[in-house]
Structure 1
């Protein structure tokens, strides 16, 4: 380059700098436009072959000008031009140029801004990608990389706040953790990264509810000892206060909430002197924690009301201080609306609810389509209209308020984000139509709301949650499911009622079964989807098991070294669940597969009654009913109201029956030793008589009339009971009047079976009747543990006699028999032998895990054999053997959990999910002297029925065995003969 050319380049560069600085200071008017043109001319004069870095700087100067003008006028065209120029700068800069990381950062900021304006998810995805590229350009152990990762984590959090994507919050935790690991402990910047990591864990807790996230967040915050910078300290205190609020929600202890308010006030005092323009964010923290304090009381007095007043006044100040363009302003409007609505509910001052409606409408107007908060905002608006309608203070607006509330709830309930907000809105929609039927357009509107509630149950109990979390959520919504069934029956929609009855029960059990569902039909048309679903289902099933094994109880401290293990296993499960949901949704869009893995429809459900009527009993808060499914003489459902039954009666009978069993010491096969518990004396005759009068007697006429001719030598009709709630703990098969010889009793009139779900009867029902002959002679595996090899497990001497009696029946016959006794009954040996035997008899202790039924176990010689170990798809049909029968001669193998009685949380249901078609179990612990006799008569009858060509008469065989033992111990000795029950087909 000549000297003239060199000085010409310098002169043009000088003019470029002058033009840029002047244009930035004077963004409007003719002069600024002239300067823009001058920038354009000088950049062209420099040319692409001279000074590439200067050319890039010219491009970025243009971009800076457009950025500043955008920030002033919020013109999207300026932002678009800025992004175009920043893309050019990235494009022309070589990959080895260290400045490229800076350019990636600038472009990410602009793309993020455009996403907040327009809501195009492609922008935020691209912004995150450029942030990742920025971080990858920097040295692995350099603090500049930690800052780049910090910015990447903030992008993930921003995306999560707007889209609610699971991947975003999971990725944020990962990159913030990486940033923390890079920075040395003595680096003052580490406080920033620790705070952000704790905040990301706080967001993940709010999303998934895992207590371990709060524990880990507090652990990271505890490492911060001194923060001289006021802004950083305020951020730390804000995060700490939010986690205290989370702890209050989790544990319900007021001290956490008081600490949260105190810490949030300290954060405000810290930020005000040095950064007064940021006060609004910390005022918002105090406002929200005060509101949470107000929510603590069901019947608030003046002391509690002052917290609501403070929350409202602070939120007004927050709104005044929050910049118009700030994204948090919409959340502030929403909060204000809620606070005004709450004050209206307390004072009934009409302007308050009108102000609430106004703020809700402003907040919704500002949200772009696809924002994750839309269900929450629409639900809030609906509640404001609903409260005004209920107050009767504006009668002229009643019809309008009803229509507006209904529309808002409808929108909130059908959006694709925040299932808890959706469920809450659907519940409010149901209440709205039920409370004001005269304003509802038709009775169908109420049923539609109930339908949406049932549809949302699997989302509320999402398969990505831990098992304990799913059961917790199911417990909250079970009454709503029963109410939906009752509403359909009230409207005489019997078929719909049966579908909803099935859809609202054994949800977690059904999820586990779906993970193991065969993909044969799907594979015929769409093999790639079948392969993908089998892969992700197996991975999800395994990850759920691993997470449960690593899970520490919520109130226990987790050693710091274990946080990563627990966190990683939970993260894998959630990401697998998200992928699984996406695949299932895609399959349901394929031709003919709309109902893929959905609750069976009514035509399918008829098939459950091929071997006799199935009686489904729904106990809601308002009414109780029985639905009797039958196929004889034609498929139909008979609806029988049960006026003598109520939830209160069922709960009372359950408690009385439990007290009776305790007083009789029905724990003799319990594996633990301990002092006997004091029980109240209860009258079992009264319990069984009331069960007969309220439940059994009203349905018996339909059972007798619609039972197909039995193939067994038994002349009694067969019935399958499908119950829930407290009835799941009561012996309907033994109900009756026992105080006189002429009293009618269930046991004398029918043979009984039970099922946790109707769908559990379908696989066998689809292939033929219950009595279809097996294709081969039975092979029985008996596992007996008279002397377990563990000192903590009590011996079961009666199992020696039990195994000997069974062996005698099978010896010399064509039926194969294998006995694994005591030391031979190791977990490895049992698993191996199970794969060759379609029948199994387990004469050993059992343990029930009510948090995760798949962790329930049989206590073998060397260790516990958990259900999950043989319920994976690869184990359910090993060596081509179809599992047919399991006899669980162990303690309490058919006892559920009173917290989730509709969820089939017991070993018997677990064996059904493992693929066994019939399971014999006990409702409570049985005596060592009873089990051998029952087992002997059961197998003798079962083999006789098979040899007579009458198939697998499991329920009849058990009925005969129980009748035999009843005669020996006496009919009034209910604790001895009643516990034996049959599950399945």
Structure 2
């Protein structure tokens, strides 16, 4: 080929020659002179060492040239012109690196050892690209086929193959690659001759074995990896980096095997290996070794979970401290490590209970919070841990600042956490615990309500399985139980049982929380037994608490409380079922509980108190004063062991007082009685005690002091009354508040009697104070409603948005209980979810209303907004006539006569509690006898009994009051009747004060001794309620429109509940009322005179819908008084079975134009629930609260025919001279109507009905 041949010409010539050599036997073509010339000239165009980029573009020419020199080398004699072999290796190595695969097999062993090839193999192996890794694998397999089994470099090619297979496994996950890699590493180790590569091969084999262990979990692979790494450490000199890598790897693998097997020897070996490296290298700062410090610290922390050995915990903390010192501040693992140190400080405190360890925990947690990146899950964890630590330090030292910080940090942890997940559930549970603790020590109900809300939310966030769920369920059960103790809401204890059972179900046998869940459920069931009296509850509690006590190992911090729960259940079972063995076993449980605390007074208090209760029970059986003395001492010790702010202290004090009085009854030692009084007084004054417990203590103290110290007794009773609203706060539903108040009936009267007997103050002062107490302690529910029913005109002018928020919250709280608007429960619902939207949100709404009221009262001029009126405001209500407030005590009663000039006290010695109870019972039986046509077993006729009671009522109460007021006779003119407002309260509310008089011997003169012949009577539950009725002037523009509800028949009642004269009453109303909106129960044929169209059906919804448009509402129907729950007393309308029109139905009704409600039905002013007499819960007061200024009600069943006469006469007198209706004359109109019926004005013969008060005395007027 000529000297002017181009690169292309030369490349084609060399490729063709190489092809001929390969296609035909013999190598002569490689030795031709022209061939060598072409190759040498082509070499000048493709030399990688001269121009690498050009060579890469001409790699095919490079490969042809390399093959040519390889053939030429083979053609020449051995040892002749080795330059061709070197050129072939150099060029073909370049081609291998450039990605060429068609290379001489026999030359591969030499090529693969070239530095450029080794580098390329390493890059392709670790590239993560399966195609490149496959190239290496193929090349190595070809190379191994060209290499003799005993060749010294064979182990190198096996290592390359194994490493490539291992990496391709990591990329593609083929198990066959991994198995082959393991075999290849093993073969490489076998083929290695001088041992120089043993450390590298052992490290590789260890890596492959660890991958296979991770894939299959085979322990033999993990063991093999440990052996390999130990051998690698032995094969490499300590100063060799491979030795360091082997030792570091050995530490990691030993830790891995420790995590799998918890084999202590592995952890110790790992620690020794790392310590040896640290000592040899004089430090922990090696970037490879430093992470092992973190792993070792974590491993020792894991080991501690099993061994509970402080040595293990401290070793782990030491490694972590070293890691922190060895890493820069911006290292992310450093922050994690600081967090772990905080958790390990926590664990150390839980073992040692040393205050110094708790302080260290707080400090470590604070450091972690500062270090860990804000917004991360770890940051939230450590903020939460800091909150928990502060709570524990509060438990230990009682510093309020720690408790406030606990709430703040645990709340912050919740705020830092996503809305769902186990982390949020855990933080919510911690926040609930801190709020629960603050409630326990500060007694704020909103803390307990918020804790319950947090636990409910935690259950929504928590996974269906896991510790967080079991803990949240158990804690929710406990919180509900505490709220039951606080407010006695039966639904709370029932839900506590349901949730407690779920907690046990979520903690199966062997679960760390099972024993605690069992103990909690046992306590809840024991408490519910006090309500349910179901023996099964108590028996289950005994079984569960026994199992719980067995589930806690000796020395466990919860074991003493579990033993106490067991003993408590046994003690309750003894007290109710009388098995002495239960009492003996209970005493033994309490003694074991005290012993198991190890003398820790912080955990002994409950056990001491419970043992005292059990000993007191035994003393009742044995008359052994030694048991009483020991019990008194135990209660005193329990008191002294807790802080003054601890709610348990109140319980211990009341228990000690009760035991002292038990002893006093045997010994008559005044010192015992005096100590009891002191203990009760302290308990009553303790702000941390529940309101009900404090009221009980104050009332008992007052009773003990009454005979010896009237002033101190009065102080205690006053305190009890002032606590009454706290027993029934707004966050409770109406029924729960009624139950809470029902057990305290008569408290206000008791306190007022003591105040009136307290000679420390002038009589006028005592009278005013007694009036305040009766206003505060009677009709508590009504007063709560009145608090938020005031005129909002001024507030709307000042801040409309604030007024609207107030009205919205008030309306929500006033809604009656009913079916939840939420959909039916799905299969995913769980215990702990709210029972209904209204019930669940009521506490939150109540707290929001309280906050809104506080905000309103901060406005200038609104400081007393929605507050109870001052005495001066009460006195102002007497400007239109005196208001007489009765109070009945054991030794006589009093009348507080409120006039515009002040309050005067009138003793009524014959008005005793016992006599009033007896007279009320006689009167009630007489009414029932007349109603049902039987004499009820009375010795005289029932009408005579009624007259006798009215005579007594005149002599004991009404007569002396009217005389004292100077109201001695009937006024001269018919329009000049004086008015009196009666506030009977409690027992006296069962009797018709307005009808009191001497009817058995009527005189027929103007000086007749009856109330009806001297004054116009009205009633009001409290003076404040009277002020509410007068809060606005009559709306004259609406005085003509009236809603008339008529029920001549009633579906579902016997004989259809027929009232024959209802339609006649409606006809009367049509004559008197210019605009009638009629709702009448339909029948087959509309009665004549009612129009051609059928009126609307009188359902509850229809009535409530029309009330706002009418100023007058008249009901002619049946009425029922509920003797169990007066809020269920009802007007019997069309849908009385499905949607009854009850007292509670009117809770949410706010009427701005209402004037007169006339309830021509039975029992509409009667409260027949003896336990709630002080509350004045009946339909008459409900209509008054809804906004009616005047309400006409009835105390007992009324005669259907007489009802029509009374209504006709009433509305006749309501008319003015111009023919319009003046509802302000309602009291006088009813007064005149009753007199007319009594005196027989409708009768033709000269006779009257005075001897039959049943017919006319039931009617009363309430309101303005």
- Secondary structure at the counterpart of residue 896 of structure 2: strand
The corresponding residue for 1:376 is 651
Shift in Å, 1:469 = 2.6
Alignment partner of 2:545 out of 251, 257, 264:
264
| Cα distance in structure 2, aligned partners of 1:308 and 1:499 | 47
Aligned to 2:1018: 753
Counterpart residue number, 1:113: 392
CA distance in 2, matches of 1:889, 1:865: 15
- Pick closer, same or farther for the CA change 1:658–1:513 going to 2, 3 Å: same
Aligned equivalents of 1:569, 1:34: Cα separation in 2 = 55
SS of equivalent to 1:876: coil
Match of 2:530 in 1: 249
Partner of 2:1162: 891
Q: What is the CA–CA distance in structure 1 between the aligned matches of 2:449 and 2:1029, rounded to whole Å? A: 41
| Cα deviation code 1:787-814 (max 9, x no counterpart) | 5685656343422211222322345xxx
Equivalence for 2:937: 680
User: Contact conserved, 1:798 with 1:928, CA < 8 A, in 2?
Assistant: yes
1:673 corresponds to which residue?
A: none
Contact 1:942 1:957 in 2 (8 A): yes
Distance 1:265 1:946, change over 3 A: farther
Shift of 1:341: 5.6
Aligned residue number for residue 692 of structure 1: 951
Structure 2: unaligned runs, 5 residues or longer: 1-240, 245-280, 822-827, 1082-1094
Deviations 1:569-604 (A, max 9, x none): 223222333444566578789999886655444333
Name the SS for the 1:566 alignment partner.
coil
> Are the structure 2 counterparts of residues 58 and 248 from structure 1 closer, same or farther at C-alpha, using a change threshold of 3 Å?
closer
Q: Which residue of 1 aligns with 2:182?
A: none
Instruction: Say which of 1116, 1137, 1146 aligns to 1:843.
Output: 1116
1:8 paired with 2:257, answer no
Which stretch shows the higher mean deviation, 203-212 or 723-732? Answer: 203-212
Task: Spell out the pairing of 1:524-563 with structure 2 (5 A cutoff).
Answer: 533-542=806-815, 545=816, 547=817
For 1:603, the equivalent position in structure 2 comes to 872
SS of equivalent residue, structure 1 residue 477:
coil
Contact 1:427 1:453 in 2 (8 A): yes
Aligned counterparts of 1:503 and 1:210: Cα–Cα separation in 2? 22
Q: Equivalent residue for 1:210?
A: 489
1:138 to 1:920, Cα distance in 2 relative to 1, 3 A: closer
1:840-892: CA deviation from partner (whole Å, max 9, x where unpaired):
2222334556676666554455665555666547x321xxx3x2221111222
What SS does the corresponding residue of 1:803 show, helix, strand or coil?
helix
Aligned residue for 1:779? 1040
2:774 partner SS: helix
Please report how far the alpha carbon of residue 321 of structure 1 lies from its aligned counterpart in structure 2 after TM superposition. Answer: 0.7
Question: For the residues of structure 2 that align with 1:364 and 1:586, how far apart are their CA atoms?
Answer: 39
After TM superposition, list the pairs within 5 Å mapping 1:804-953 onto structure 2: 804-810=1067-1073, 817-822=1076-1081, 823-824=1095-1096, 826=1098, 830-831=1103-1104, 833-848=1106-1121, 856-860=1129-1133, 864-865=1140-1141, 872=1148, 875-877=1150-1152, 881=1153, 883-899=1154-1170, 900-944=1172-1216, 952-953=1224-1225
- Work out the CA distance in 2 between the residues paired with 1:407 and 1:221: 35
Q: Compare relative contact order (CA 8 Å, sep 6+) and give the higher one, 1 or 2.
A: 1
1:229 shift after superposition: 1.6
Change (3 A) 1:428 1:665: closer
- Distance (Å, rounded) in 1 between the aligned partners of 2:1214 and 2:1134: 29
Aligned-pair CA distance for 1:685: 2.2
1:82 to partner: Cα distance? 2.8
Q: CA deviation at 1:419?
A: 0.6
Count of aligned residue pairs for this structure pair? 927
Q: 1:738 is matched with which residue?
A: 999
1:312 corresponds to which of 567, 587, 592: 587
Q: What's 1:980 paired with?
A: 1259
SS of structure 1 residue aligned to 2:743: helix
Aligned equivalent of 1:657, options 898, 906, 923? 923
Separation (CA, whole Å) in 1 of partners of 2:575 and 2:804: 49
User: Take 2:730 and 2:664, find their aligned partners in 1: how far apart are those partners?
Assistant: 38
1:554 aligned partner: none
Give the Cα separation in 1 of the matches to 2:1000 and 2:714: 44
CA separation in 1, counterparts of 2:1141 and 2:1069? Answer: 23
Pair 870,723 (structure 1): closer, same or farther in 2 beyond 3 Å:
closer
Q: Is the CA contact (8 Å cut-off) linking 1:751 and 1:956 kept in structure 2?
A: yes
Q: 2:745 aligns with which of 468, 478, 497?
A: 478
CA distance in 1, matches of 2:323, 2:563: 49
Larger Rg: 2
Give the whole-Å Cα distance in 2 for the aligned partners of 1:147 and 1:786: 59
**Per-residue deviation, 1:318:** 0.8
Aligned residue runs from structure 1 range 764-803, under 5 A: 775-776=1036-1037, 778-787=1039-1048, 790=1051, 794-803=1057-1066
* Structure 1 residue 227: Cα displacement: 2.9
Deviation at 1:43, TM superposition (A): 3.9
Tell me if the contact between 1:848 and 1:857 (Cα under 8 Å) persists in the aligned partners: yes
Query: Which residue of 2 is the match for residue 126 of structure 1?
Result: 408
1:569 to 810, 832, 838: 838
Alignment of 1:430-441 (within 5 A): 430-435=702-707, 437=708, 440=709
Aligned twin of 2:209 = none
Who is 2:167 aligned against? none
1:886-905 deviation per Cα after TM superposition (whole angstroms, max 9, x unaligned): 11112221111232122112
SS in 2 for 1:415: coil
Name the SS of the counterpart of 2:1196 in structure 1. Answer: coil
Q: Tell whether 2:898 aligns with 1:618.
A: no
**2:361 aligned to which of 69, 82, 93:** 82
Instruction: State the match for 2:610 in structure 1.
Output: 335
RMSD (Å) for aligned C-alpha atoms: 4.7
> Could you state the TM-score of these two structures normalised by the residue count of structure 2?
0.64
Quickly say closer, same or farther: Cα 1:108–1:784, change in 2 above 3 A: closer
Deviates more, 1:889-898 or 1:352-361: 352-361
Q: What is the DSSP-based 3-state SS (H/G/I as helix, E as strand, rest coil) of the residue aligned with 2:1165?
A: coil
What TM-score, normalized to structure 1? Answer: 0.81
Alpha-carbon distance in 1 for matches of 2:318, 2:549? 47
Name the structure 2 match of 1:556. Answer: none
Verify the 8 A CA contact 1:244 1:259 in the aligned structure 2: yes
CA drift at 1:934: 1.0
Q: Is the alpha carbon distance of 1:630 and 1:212 closer, same or farther for their aligned partners in structure 2, counting shifts above 3 Å? A: closer
Tell me if the contact between 1:150 and 1:176 (Cα under 8 Å) persists in the aligned partners.
yes
| CA distance in 1 between partners of 2:924 and 2:869 (Å) | 34
Give the gaps of 5 or more residues in structure 1: 298-302, 552-558, 667-675
For the 8 Å contact 1:27–1:69, the answer to whether it is kept is no
Distance 1:434 1:891 in 2: 42
